[in-house]
Amino acid sequence: MRRRSGLAVAALFGVVAAAAAVFAGGASPAGKPIVIGWAFDSKGAMAPFDGPALAAAKLRVAQVNAKGGVKGRPLQIRTCDTQGNKPAIAKACATKLLGQGANIIFTTCDVDFAAPVVQASINAGVLAVAPCIGTDQMGPKRFGAKGRLAFSFGNVAQDEGSAMADFAWKKGWRSAALATDTVIVYFKNVVQAFAARWKQLGGKIVAQETYQSLGSNNVQNAVSRLNGVNADVIVTSTAGAFGALPTLVSGLRTLGNNTPILNSWAGDGTYWLPKDPKVTHYFFVTYASSFGNDPNPAVNKLAKQVKAGTGGFITGPAAIDGVVTAIKRAGGSTNGAALAAQMEKFRKVPTLSGLVSFSAQLHSVFGRQYRVIDIENNVPRVVTTIVAKVVPKI
């Protein structure tokens, strides 16, 4: 165990060193700025994810510019608040940022909420990037041919759900009850991917329940049914900011059900934890630990600087790293098609978040290393890291 941890940390340091090498530059950049227009949510359901990613990205941009920028050009972030990702406001933000000369548009961390911004960007021939959208819909699957200009530095749900299944299997769990939050595509896709990989491994699915967060009152009904199921693990994908997670976890624990609960990155953070009963036997996979106990000291330093609430903060600088690499590989061009062509060729490209890969079919990341965090008595700790072995079809 100790030897493996040492090797994992060494590998992480290698990735960070390689990412830092991307930014080897010279004097302060004096060329025309490369403008990143960032449409973000400051107050809605995506605020706990958008805010830290943006704050960390600003620090990364400062580091890039301090080392000469990108081929002598400084990066510049201009923002627009979508105010809860209201569609009309989101579209107006995209129009405003494009009108201000944005070369690249960044958007929020859910594909449904991001759609107005993405559509406006790709219609203008501008690369659209999300730090942490987690579905294969951020690309041609949802946006058609023009969707080739849309990418996310979030882990694609197929990869994330598969990694969750691999972790559960390694824990010795063999039967799973699925609890699907149907409110957004990402939540549904993660559970579908878990199920696909779980069956490949030989695991048994003993129950499949659904519920809906964001105002629905059917969560407790799912809790009651899940309480009557004999399973080694209950698997879900939902976020505390969406409302259902505290009810799901507290409801089961209040009933005396201590079955381990396994969540996706959506369930990251301690901001949602109830004080009574305290959360136990709750696991989730994430990009990085925001709690100061990540295996990578550079991640811990950045988390402290931005006061990160979830590990998704690391996707902000990761997206900056990736865009910088694409611009350099495109010979300094910021043309949307040129950048997209380079990003589709990404194979284990080093970023602060780890190694990033895309393909013509998957414009969200696969193959990146996850942290697995266990919360016991409301205290989170990193218990292991894991990389999905396969990306199952769903």
Written as six digits, the tokens of 381 are: 């700790």
Integer CA distances (angstroms), 242 to 136, 245, 316, 389, in order = 21, 7, 21, 30
* Position 20 pLDDT exceeds 60: no
| Record: fold of 2-155+295-356 | Rossmann fold (3.40.50)
Decide if pLDDT at 16 tops 80.
no
- Identify whether the C-beta of residue 40 lies closer than 8 Å to the C-beta of residue 81: yes
Kindly report the pTM of this predicted structure.
0.85
Biggest CA-to-CA distance, the chain: 65
Assign 3-state DSSP to the chain and report helix, strand, coil percentages, each to 5: 45, 20, 35
Q: What is the pLDDT of residues 217-268, one digit of tens each?
A: 799 999 999 999 999 999 999 999 899 999 999 999 999 999 999 999 999 9
Q: Which of 277, 354, 275 is nearest to 322 (CA)?
A: 354
Structure confidence by residue, pLDDT tens digits, 267-276: 999 999 999 9
Q: Is the pLDDT of residue 147 over 60?
A: yes
Under the banding of pLDDT at 50, 70 and 90, the label for residue 45 is confident
327, 314, 393: which is closest to 356 by C-alpha? 314
Instruction: Give the pLDDT confidence of 114-136 residue by residue, as tens digits.
Output: 999 999 999 999 999 999 999 99
Q: What is the pLDDT of residue 215?
A: 79
Class of residue 264 by CB neighbours under 10 A (exposed 0-12, middle 13-18, buried 19+): buried
Q: Are strands 233-236 and 175-181 parallel, antiparallel or unpaired?
A: parallel
- pLDDT per residue over 314-343, tens digit each? 999 999 999 999 999 999 999 999 999 999
Q: What is the pLDDT at residue 10?
A: 33
Q: What is the mean pLDDT of residues 276-303?
A: 95
Query: Over 80: is that where the pLDDT of 3 sits?
Result: no
- What are the residue ranges of CATH 3.40.50.2300 in the chain? 2-155+295-356, 157-286+370-386
Provide the sign of the torsion angle of the four alpha carbons 153, 345, 143, 99, taken in this order.
Answer: positive
More reliable by pLDDT, 48 or 145: 145
Mean pLDDT of 104-120: 96
Q: Which region holds residue 215: left if phi is over 0, alpha if psi is between -120 and 50, else beta? A: left
**Res. 27 pLDDT band, cuts 50 70 90:** low
Tell whether the model's pLDDT for residue 64 goes beyond 90: yes
Predicted local distance difference test score (pLDDT) of residue 18: 42
Q: How confident is the model at residue 12 (pLDDT cuts 50, 70, 90)?
A: very low
- Domain 157-286+370-386: CATH superfamily is Response regulator (3.40.50.2300)
Check whether 17 has a pLDDT greater than 80: no
Q: Strands (DSSP E) along 292-389, which ranges?
A: 349-351, 354-356, 370-376, 379-386
Return the minimum-mean-pLDDT range out of 4-8, 26-30, 37-41, 213-217. Answer: 4-8
Instruction: Judge whether residue 2 has pLDDT over 80.
Output: no
Share of the chain above pLDDT 90, in %: 86
Q: What is the mean pLDDT of residues 88-106?
A: 98
Supply the mean pLDDT for the chain.
91
